[in-house]
Amino acid sequence: MEAWIKRRHGVGETPGGAVPKLKLTGDGKDFWDAESKKHQARLRELEYRQRKGELIEVASAERFFMQRIDIVKQGFLAFERSLPPRLILCKNEREMAEVLHESIRGLLEVYAAPLPDSLTNEAKIPEAIEDGTEAAND
């Protein structure tokens, strides 16, 4: 087989006895077979990495982050219901700032947790936070 390839491409042995590697051009069957094998190997590698959990689908990641952003946004919007009763008891601006800081920090800490191992599964966002202040009250 190797001799046939050499004859076909007009490749001879070099003085050291080594056969030079064939240079494939963009025309022949050999080139397209090699290209096909490269692409098939790349596809198998990507499928393997996806099964292994190293790769995720873009749509899945976008869905996860959009879901997270929406829930944080709802938590911030819920402050209008949960903060007034706490702020009315404050005696000065410093106490008010502390209540605001605790509430905002609590909400952000809940969603600043590390990402799940695999984003391919649907993200499970804690549903217990209804008004955005439960985390601050813990």
Give 59-64 contacts, CB < 8 A, sequence gap 24+. 60/119, 60/120, 61/119, 63/122, 63/123, 64/119, 64/123
Instruction: Please list the pLDDT of the chain residue by residue as tens digits (138 residues).
Output: 676 666 666 655 555 555 555 555 567 788 888 899 999 999 999 999 888 878 888 888 898 889 888 988 998 999 999 999 999 998 999 999 999 999 999 888 887 766 666 554 444 444 434 444 444 443
CA distances (Å), 6 to each of 13, 58, 66, in order?
Answer: 9, 46, 58
Q: Quote the Cα angle for 114-120-121, to 5°.
A: 80
Question: How far is it, in rounded angstroms, from Cα 47 to Cα 13?
Answer: 40
Q: Which residue has the tokens 């590698």?
A: 45
- The answer to whether the beta carbons of residues 22 and 13 sit under 8 Å apart is no
Sorted by where each begins, the domain ranges of the chain are 25-55, 58-137
